[in-house]
Copies of this chain bind each other. A is one copy, B any other.
Amino acid sequence: MADDKLMTMREAIAQYVNDGDTIYLAGLSHLVPFAAAHEIIRQRKRDLVFCRPTPDILLEQMLSVGILRKVEFCWAGNPGIGNLRVFRRVVEKGLPFPVEIEEYTMFGFTARLLAGAMNLPFMPVRTNIGSDLPAKNPKIKTIQDPYGGETLSVVPALRPDVSILHVQRADRGGNAQVWGITSDHRDAAFAAKRVIISAEEIVDEAVIRADPNRTIVPDFLVSAVVHEPFGAHPSYAQGFYDRDNDWYQEWDRLSADQAAVDAYVAEWIDGVPDRAAYVAKLDEVTKAKLQIEPAWSGQISYGVYK
């Protein structure tokens, strides 16, 4: 049984994200930790190394306020829509703020995190061969198999200072459960020095213990737990709400103009004190549109053993 770690996002970010940190924001395009990212922007944490396989619009917003030193990634697009326009400006023209980039493939990137989670210095991967990427990223190396003698590509472990995960439910100690797409959540937590969990629901520890096979992160890894309903909007939370696809399309239009992006940040991130205010500010039609009907999993029995 762990301590009660429930706190506000403001407290969690203030306490556990430092200037200069390597931060990992978990989730493919599911459970994207937008609430946490916005608080990092509000607090203007500086000089960050941003790690995320599919950086998404989080990245656009962080790039726009110049708090990143470097981006480590494998696919920087607007998922299902197209390119990331701020990211393009940054990489193509160094505007509004230049950053360093470190690029991998999806397998390479997630294998780096697995190596970090397993505390191995590297992970061999059967990719990168024939690609131009290793020539542009000297951290992609090769190794000799001591059994068959084969040469394998290897990627170095990724060990974030802090990983931030949005999940469906957690208890106050930090036991966290995720269903649907689990993407990189588990490895992000195990690879990191510190873990911040934000959750759609805070549940009693007994709910977690009734179904231990669903637990992705155990409490003793976790530094902070934040209750953040709708914390993944505009992305989705399986079983809770749908993706706000109109918003993603709107971003594609809006982000053609950096001034419009800056205005968005001023209004929707800096202009609100926290996630609750952001949610209150969203119009009711949008919120209604994202509601879904339940589809139940069914129950299994663990059995009483005495």
Contact surface of A with B, Cβ cutoff 8 Å: 119-122, 124, 126, 141-143, 145-148, 150, 152, 154, 156, 168, 179-180, 182, 207, 210-211, 213-214, 238-240, 242, 292-305
Contacts and interface: CB of A to CB of B under 8 A. Distances in A.
Contact of A294 (B122, B152, B303): B303
Contacts of A213: 179-180, 182, 214
Which 6 A/B pairs are nearest by Cβ-Cβ distance?
A294-B301, A211-B297, A239-B301, A293-B304, A292-B303, A239-B303
B299 A295 contact: no
Nearest to A181: B213
A150 B141 CA distance: 15
Give the residue among A121, A240, A295, A303 with the most B Cβ atoms within 10 A.
A303
Contact of A122 (B147, B168, B298, B299): B147
Contact of A298 (B152, B180, B207): B207
A44 B280 CA distance: 70
B304 A294 contact: yes
Main secondary structure of the interface of A (DSSP, over half): loop
Nearest to A125: B120
Contacts of A120: 124, 126, 152
23 contacts: A120-B124, A120-B126, A121-B124, A122-B147, A146-B154, A179-B302, A180-B302, A182-B213, A210-B298, A211-B297, A238-B303, A239-B301, A240-B303, A242-B303, A292-B303, A292-B304, A293-B303, A294-B301, A295-B303, A297-B299, A297-B300, A297-B301, A298-B299
A242 to B, nearest CB: 6
